[in-house]
Chain A
């Protein structure tokens, strides 16, 4: 980890050098302008293959997602027996008028919010803790973090399934050794909220390492003099964190939070595999619900409408993330 710290710590010098360019930018542009006649086509030629592939595998499906959500598209349309017919907003009114859909939306938002909040808070606490521990503890924690970060999601899900197994799971066995706790045979997935809490734990366990490592790198860039100055001015540990560390880390935190929201709203395999490929009604979140509508009920139109609504729900968050990234990207 110390190497990662030094790599990022080395970044500021290279980052600091961009400020001169703004002044030198017009000058830097001149030689490029001289090459302009060729320069205008070369970048597009370089971009062409990438844009072509993305248009096919991303652009077209996106458009199709929108058109599908306005069509009646079922089994017979899939096999080509019947042409897809436009049904206007029927799919949307159907979905939005369904009480179950709103339950799913609320469940998804609560689930994702829980994942994000726990990930960010635990990640921040561990990052701060890592600043205060001895070197060997730091190494130990980093080993555990990188191992859990690198675990494929499916493997992690399988392992958690085993940990929380009703009959032979180690968690029930260990908890039952505590006095007054009797959990042998307790099925964590018998109720939706409890099962989703387990899945939330799985998601948070997988997501915390990225947050810790990113925040740790960020923390090394918080000037010690600033913290010192705040402390001399009488700020306590919380004051230093609140008024010095947090504002400096804000860009990273905004980025991590928005990314987490996007990722956690899109959780699918964890729920799907944990529930053996057939999530019960109490476990449905927007992604599995959309999948269910399309591939189980065979109503591709409504499934697409749900997927589209999910994307639209995320747009606001994506906008915040993009603004943050552009702020960074613009410097280059």
Chain B
């Protein structure tokens, strides 16, 4: 009883602040509901019986749990083929991107040489060219090289956006590793390469993993090049989903099941690296 009384008196002095806090919280919950709704509705539709999806008076709550939509989505058009191709392309792009990008990132972050700034500006600028603007000449280039409708051609073109991104991000991670560590190792008798392999590399590994995963996601999500540079029989996962929505547009429940299958692994991967990437992207942006 006395606890309640003291609580009440304390609340009296702080009630104003508390009331405004709960107002903010309410607003925050509203943001959560609005921002999260599309994701919720995708999952909701994917798992509900297909006939409930076209109910003229739909219920906002789940109406049942079924996996029928998933089997229908897998059935309607080959799913694993496109997924396999997407996987292959993304992994290849990331593998090449990280190795080549790592070397370049080392060059611009650990060496002082003439033309360094031009290279940095160039890589930054290249990153800014909208991909869509490049599709015509890239299409013609691959056509000339006989790489149209080949996965190798797609891998090559994906490097246009994965490589600058990888170089820039890895550079951000490298410059945050104090040079003194390397220098200390070199004083202790390591060669420059030895110092890199034994000192810098272990510190850089988490950054490299994050960069690779993020690059993988970008390659996986790419749509326009995959659509234009591969024929229907070689389509990737994103094109599979977009075709699903244009060709079987009325089958919304299986479509959402397909969307869920595309999104879940990517969102999970994204969750893993998001913190590291967000920190890396902003590091240094605030500077007095």
Contact = CB atoms under 8 A, between A and B. Distances in A.
A61 B35 CA distance: 39
10 contacts: A28-B179, A46-B103, A137-B28, A146-B267, A151-B39, A209-B35, A251-B287, A307-B135, A318-B128, A322-B125
- CB-CB nearest 3 A-B residue pairs: A150-B270, A266-B130, A144-B36
B101 interface: yes
A162 B41 contact: yes
Contact of B259 (A138, A158, A300, A307): A158
Interface of B: 21, 24-25, 27-29, 31-32, 35-36, 38-39, 41-42, 45, 53-58, 60, 100-101, 103-104, 106-109, 111-114, 116, 119-121, 123-126, 128-138, 140-141, 143, 156-157, 159-160, 163-164, 167, 175-176, 178-179, 217, 220-221, 223-224, 228, 238, 241-242, 244-246, 249, 252, 255-256, 259, 262-263, 266-267, 269-271, 274-276, 278-279, 281-288
Given A64-B141, A168-B56, A217-B282, 9 more contacts: A47-B107, A49-B104, A58-B129, A58-B160, A129-B24, A163-B38, A170-B58, A310-B130, A322-B128
Interface in A299-332: 300, 303-304, 307-308, 310-311, 314, 318, 321-322, 325-329, 331-332
Contacts of A168: 53-56, 58, 252
The SS class assigned to the A binding surface is: helix
Contacts of B271: 146, 150
A326 B130 contact: no
Contacts of A137: 24-25, 28-29, 32
A205 interface: yes
Contact of B175 (A214, A218, A332): A332
A330 to B, nearest CB: 8
Tell me what chain B mostly uses at the interface: helix, strand, loop, or mixed: helix
Nearest to B275: A4
Interface string A1-40: 1011001100100110100000000001100100000011
Interface stretch (A87-95, A97-105, A289-297): A289-297
Nearest to A330: B117
A205 B38 contact: yes
A126 interface: yes
A326 B35 CA distance: 34
Contact of A221 (B121, B141, B244, B286): B286
